[in-house]
């Protein structure tokens, strides 16, 4: 089964997707990490975040892979370099929406994501996994949460990294990113019509995971009965 989980920043996609994959024995793919890696490399190479051709070349040549980490989420490597922490920096976070809106970047990475998903039995999470990358996914999920709750979660993550930013600043950044992601012409952030819609504002991680796993198991059972 392919499970596609979409939603805005801070809605809990990564944590939820990882745990759902673990519970169901599926592979986990963080599509956003790919866009973050392109953003990081562009910054390091001095490439303009407005240069579609140059950014597209970085995406096309991206040698990225994931390695399992028993202590946490999969590690992200560009060739032999572990960039797991660097791609989560505030600089990358602020620019990744701009980079991911470029047609050549999206084309290159969407193809890569589809190739990986074609192997089957995977949980993908991102902004357009259910609407563009895997429109025929067996289960589509859309996670949301209030901007206040999403900012609180982001603040906690940053504080664990030793970064201190006010909640108001984070709320403003999230609203700007929401507007950019949902308003872009190419592969905008939106809920697939048939997606399971979960507002995670007041839900625990376990509650969200349980709801998705339950729905996946129900659909799997229905498929087996039809066979």
Domain with 171, as residue range(s), is 2-30+88-220
Specify if 110 maps to a domain. yes
Specify if 45 maps to a domain. no
Residue predicted with more confidence, 113 or 189: 113
The Cα 56–Cα 63 span in angstroms is 13
Confidence tier at 227 by pLDDT (50, 70, 90): low
Tell me the mean pLDDT in the region 85-110: 93
Q: Looking at the predicted structure, is the pLDDT value of residue 187 above 80?
A: yes
Specify if 56 maps to a domain. no
Contact 153, 20 (CB under 8 A): no
Short-list 27, 34, 36, 29, CA closest to 14 = 29
Specify if 75 maps to a domain. no
Specify if 69 maps to a domain. no
Tell me the mean pLDDT in the region 74-98: 93
Q: Looking at the predicted structure, is the pLDDT value of residue 163 above 90?
A: no
Residue 144 is part of a domain; what is its CATH number? Answer: 3.40.50.300
Specify if 12 maps to a domain. yes
The rounded percent of the chain whose pLDDT value lies above 70 is 100
Convert the pLDDT of each residue in 40-76 to its tens digit. 999 999 999 999 999 999 999 999 999 988 877 889 9
């Amino acid at each position: 089964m392919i499970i596609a989980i979409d939603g805005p920043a801070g809605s809990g996609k990564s944590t939820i997707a990882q745990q759902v994959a673990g519970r169901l024995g599926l592979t986990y793919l963080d599509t956003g990490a790919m866009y973050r890696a392109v953003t990081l490399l562009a910054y390091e190479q001095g490439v303009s975040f407005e240069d579609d051709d140059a950014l597209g070349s970085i995406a096309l040549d991206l040698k990225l892979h994931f390695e399992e980490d028993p202590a946490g989420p999969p590690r992200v490597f560009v060739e032999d370099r572990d960039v797991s922490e660097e791609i989560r920096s505030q600089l990358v976070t602020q620019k990744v929406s701009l980079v991911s809106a470029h047609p050549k970047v999206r084309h290159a990475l969407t193809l890569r994501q589809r190739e990986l998903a074609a192997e089957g039995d995977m949980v993908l999470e991102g902004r357009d996994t259910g609407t563009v990358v895997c429109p025929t996914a067996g289960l589509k999920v859309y996670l949301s949460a209030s901007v206040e709750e999403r900012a609180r979660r982001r603040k906690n993550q940053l504080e664990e990294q030793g970064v201190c930013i006010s909640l108001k600043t984070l709320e403003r950044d999230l609203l700007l990113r929401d507007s950019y992601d949902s308003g872009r012409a190419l592969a905008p952030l939106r809920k697939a019509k048939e997606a399971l819609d979960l507002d995670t504002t007041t839900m625990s991680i376990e509650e969200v995971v349980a709801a998705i796993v339950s729905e996946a198991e129900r659909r799997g059972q229905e498929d087996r009965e039809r066979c």
